[in-house]
């Protein structure tokens, strides 16, 4: 993500226009739907399996039997919102 986009997103979060970006789980739900086509109703369970200085690893159990692990991290060191890692 480029620095200008990061600044705009941070401003939206600071002004309460994007509160979901403050929650790693919500960011993961949005990623699942937007990038993988998995709706929230297909998620049976989501749990945090690891926390590191770089972020959090979330494990998602999907209704079709798949178990997916995704990494979520703070979008930038001085930011307060989350983004999907790599």
Locate the DSSP E strands across 1-86.
43-52, 55-62, 67-74, 82-84
- pLDDT above 90 covers a percentage of the chain that reads 48
Count of CB atoms situated within 10 Å of the CB of 84: 19
Tell me the pLDDT tens digit for each residue of 41-59: 999 999 999 998 888 999 9
Q: Is the model more confident about 43 or about 18?
A: 43
Query: For the CA atoms of the chain, what is the radius of gyration?
Result: 13
Q: Is the model more confident about 27 or about 64?
A: 64
At CA 79, angle to CA 27 and CA 71, rounded to 5? 40
Tell me the pLDDT tens digit for each residue of 19-48: 778 888 988 999 999 999 999 999 999 999
Instruction: Kindly list the domain boundaries of the chain, sorted by start residue.
Output: 3-84
pLDDT of residue 59: 97
Q: Tell me the C-alpha to C-alpha distance, in Å, between residue 73 and each of 18, 42, 64, 65.
A: 16, 23, 27, 26
């Amino acid at each position: 993500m480029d620095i200008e986009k990061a600044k705009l997103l941070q401003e939206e979060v600071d002004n309460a226009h994007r509160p979901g970006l403050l929650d790693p789980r919500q960011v993961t739900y949005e990623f699942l739907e937007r990038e993988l086509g998995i709706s929230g109703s297909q998620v049976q369970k989501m749990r945090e399996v690891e926390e590191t200085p770089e972020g959090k690893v979330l494990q998602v159990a999907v209704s079709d039997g798949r178990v997916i692990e995704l990494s979520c991290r703070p979008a930038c060191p001085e930011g307060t919102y989350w983004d999907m890692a790599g």
